[in-house]
Amino acid sequence: MLTMSEAPKKRGVFNIYILDDNSSTRNIAKQSLEQNLPCSVTLFSDLPSLLSQVPTLAPDLILLEDNQGDDQGITSCETIKKAPITKNIPVFFLSAKKDPSRRVAALKAGGVDFLIKPFYPEELVARVRIHINMHRLRLENIAQIAEQKALLRVLCHDLVNPIFAAHSLLDLKLSLGKPVEESTLKSVLSCCQSALDIVTHVREEHSLVKTNKQFKSESTNVAEALDESRSTLSERLGQKKIELKIDCEPELQLEIKRVVLVHNIINNLLTNAIKFSHEGSSIEIVARSTEEGAQRFCIIEVRDHGIGMPQEILQKVFKDAAKTSRQGTANESGTGFGMPLVKRYVEKCGGAISLKSVEASSETAHGEAGTTVKLTFPL
């Protein structure tokens, strides 16, 4: 996950911070940059003030003065490079020190360049432009790689449900030596189509990542989407004898791609609920519209009565890098990718996700344990 300083920057104005306790140098550098670059320059006389401003507006580059006779510039650079929020921001040194060992020390401290004063304004502008463009290109590459990793997880994770369903339907008939009925073949065909839909969606999304565009939504009937999820996961539900209860307004429509709602969101939530539910229990889905002031929302809640989540997992269940995978009630294994993927797609569609869970224990009253996931989408 990218920090604020690592978020991809929009093309246009450069944000530059200058840290120098000499007001004359600060003003000369500021004037040179603002006259020759599309930039916003902010001046600082001390490091704490600079660091406190970064969360509000992360800079593309920090110009740092290496003053004659002290190591404050080197120390400041080391501090900047150790702080998680600023460690990847390029630091450019301005110095009156001509000793080559100072330049080496600055580069070892994490600086990307070193310019000796008095400097030519054109040279400063040219070097700063190069380093900012390199920095922004790096951030764009990081963002694209992160998005591609997420899409690979979608393929690896979300294809399992329709493939498992198709395999289970055929395997059951073949293992019993019974002929495969037309209804079974239709179900298998539907599962194969679901798998193809997921692949097609990922391919489309991958092409949109490269062009920095968002995928187009479509009007999807929520009740039909929930029924499709029930059909896809019927084998998993049947294996644990779990009853899926759906209470949905029949005409409820969402502006969201069907494949996203069914396979990337609902199926992942239900798979988790099944995994951590006890045999013979139930899972409830309630989908309704509601109003808050002038705004209408669609609320979808998925509730299971399983073993719940311990607090340490609850706190990091949506984090990509966190290890949240654990065995289910029937020793099912998992990847830990499901909930981060759900959050990713819910937020991509303009929605929000929240989660409440009560872990089963000797002190938990009957019926209290379990997990409820709430999705909220604007209508």
Q: Is it the case that residue 211 has pLDDT exceeding 70?
A: no
Q: Is it the case that residue 4 has pLDDT exceeding 60?
A: no
Per-residue pLDDT reduced to its tens digit, 7-46:
444 445 889 999 877 777 678 888 888 888 888 899 888 8
Q: Does the global pTM surpass 0.75?
A: no
CA 119/CA 113 separation, integer angstroms: 13
The conformation of residue 214, written as its DSSP 8-state character, comes to: P
Stronger pLDDT, 129 or 66, i.e. the higher one: 129
Partners of 18 in beta bridges: 43, 63
Q: Are 246 and 327 in contact (CB under 8 A)?
A: no
pLDDT for 11: 45
Among 376, 217, 352, 218, CA closest to 297: 376
- 204-213, 289-298, 360-369: least confident range: 204-213
Among 240, 242, 361, CA closest to 303: 242
50 Cβ contact list (under 8 Å, min separation 6): 17, 19, 44, 62
The conformation of residue 70, written as its DSSP 8-state character, comes to: -
Domains contained in the chain, CATH given: 4-141 (3.40.50.2300), 159-216 (no CATH), 219-379 (3.30.565.10)
Which runs of consecutive H residues, i.e. helices, occur in 37-120?
47-53, 72-82, 100-108
- Report the SS3 class of residue 249: coil
292 Cβ contact list (under 8 Å, min separation 6): none
Main-chain dihedrals φ then ψ at residue 215, nearest 5 degrees = -70, 150
Amino acid at 12: G
